Amino acid sequence: SRKYFIAGRINLIQRSKIRELFERASKMKNVISLGIGEPDFDTPQNIKEAAKRALDEGWTHYTPNAGIPEFREAIAEYYKNTYGIEIPMEKVIVTVGAYEATYLAFETLLEDGDEVIIPDPAFVCYVEDAKVAEAKSIRLPLKEENGFQPDPDELLELITKRTRMIVVNYPNNPTGATLDEETAKAIADIAQDYNIYILSDEPYEHFLYENAKHTPMLKYAPDNTVLANSFSKTFAMTGWRLGFTIAPEQIIRDMIKLHAYVIGNVASFIQIAGVAALREKESWDAVKQMRDTYAERRRIVLDYIKEMPYISAFEPKGAFYVFANIKETGMKSEEFAEWLLEKAGVVVIPGTAFGKNGEGYIRISYATKKNKLIEALERMKTALEEL
């Protein structure tokens, strides 16, 4: 029956392996997690104050489905001031984090049997979004020797008549890689030549190290890009569920149809706090402080890894992850993660949680306080030395 057809489709969605590992670790004592994918900072005070004020000022009602105009304007203004990209606010809608933005892109752009090119490894939600949209995921391998950049020639080989979209996510989760400008341009050219949309998921855009620059895909392929972005990582606001999408107007109109009935919109007082986040200096000072703290921890992780036997790491310039190569241990990624949890009480995420091509890697997150991070790395070093 129809009912079972729908249930079957939803049953294809896999439970995240990351969550399974966390659940096991939560039942153990004295475990340090380097598995967490969210900032360990509190939301900047000025943003919290703005939300409290907004509640007192009566921002407690429904908002337009696309979001509060002042907030959409502030987002457009942010792209102009930060990247020199002019976007009319009609191309912006407020979403429940980047998660909803990616979901809307899959649902509105893909039909049964369409193909979407998803890098491997990649963040966990894209493949599951494709299943819900009944689209076919075609995986594009990212290789350590190429700095985990997509290879434009390999991308071209994967394109068929059914290809509708390619997913790009830089700074990248899980590898921490940033996108080279040359590669960004090559992807943009391919998308334009073959009439393919680029879903560019950019929530880590402010976490860049050693003078790395962000390459917003909107700059390279403005008419083909659907941007997913979020306040979650930038302003340490994961629980607020505030994000947005920027897309060509026809797509925005289609997205709103779905968004209107499923979401309505993000709480109005939170959108008002989003205006403060974008326009007040205090929030940007806090972002800088977070970035400096991550930069210090990133150095600590990379220096420790150099001291450890059997493990090495590509030096990522973004996000808050290190994707370390564990092939010399002779263990598979999942086996390594289990071993490290039992032996050292440290949680890392097996690379295979992000795709088959993540085999031989683990993701280490440094969104963890410095003393805990160092203790975990010490434990990891000892465990590896005893291997």
Q: Compute the least distance from the CB of residue 195 to ligand PLP, in Å.
A: 25
User: What single string gives the DSSP state of each residue in 87-113?
Assistant: --GGGEEEESHHHHHHHHHHHHH--TT
Binding of ligand PLP at residue 243 (CB under 6 A)? yes
CA pair distance 362, 110, nearest whole angstrom: 31
Q: Compute the least distance from the CB of residue 366 to ligand PLP, in Å.
A: 14
Q: Nearer to ligand PLP by C-beta: 109 or 384?
A: 109
Binding of ligand PLP at residue 129 (CB under 6 A)? no
Binding of ligand PLP at residue 358 (CB under 6 A)? no
Binding of ligand PLP at residue 201 (CB under 6 A)? yes
Q: Is the dihedral of CA 159, 219, 277, 206 positive or negative?
A: positive
Q: Which residue has the tokens 């700074």?
A: 171
Binding of ligand PLP at residue 99 (CB under 6 A)? yes
How many C-beta atoms lie closer than 10 Å to residue 95's C-beta?
27
User: What single string gives the DSSP state of each residue in 24-59?
Assistant: HHHTSSS-EE----S--SPPPHHHHHHHHHHHHTT-
CA pair distance 360, 350, nearest whole angstrom: 8
Q: Nearer to ligand PLP by C-beta: 79 or 204?
A: 204
Q: Which residue has the tokens 């752009």?
A: 109
Q: Compute the least distance from the CB of residue 105 to ligand PLP, in Å.
A: 12
Among the listed residues 94, 98, 278, 353, the single contact to ligand PLP using CB under 6 A: 98
How many C-beta atoms lie closer than 10 Å to residue 227's C-beta?
24
Q: Compute the least distance from the CB of residue 191 to ligand PLP, in Å.
A: 19
- Select from 50-58, 82-90, 95-103, 213-221 the region that touches ligand PLP (CB under 6 A): 95-103
Rg over alpha carbons for the chain, rounded to the nearest Å, is: 21
Binding of ligand PLP at residue 37 (CB under 6 A)? yes
Among the listed residues 16, 65, 146, 238, the single contact to ligand PLP using CB under 6 A: 238
Q: Compute the least distance from the CB of residue 232 to ligand PLP, in Å.
A: 3
Residue number, nearest CB to ligand PLP? 97
Q: Which of 212, 234, 206, 373 is nearest to 305 (CA)?
A: 373
- List of residues contacting ligand PLP (CB under 6 A): 37, 97-99, 123, 169, 173, 201, 203, 230, 232, 238, 243
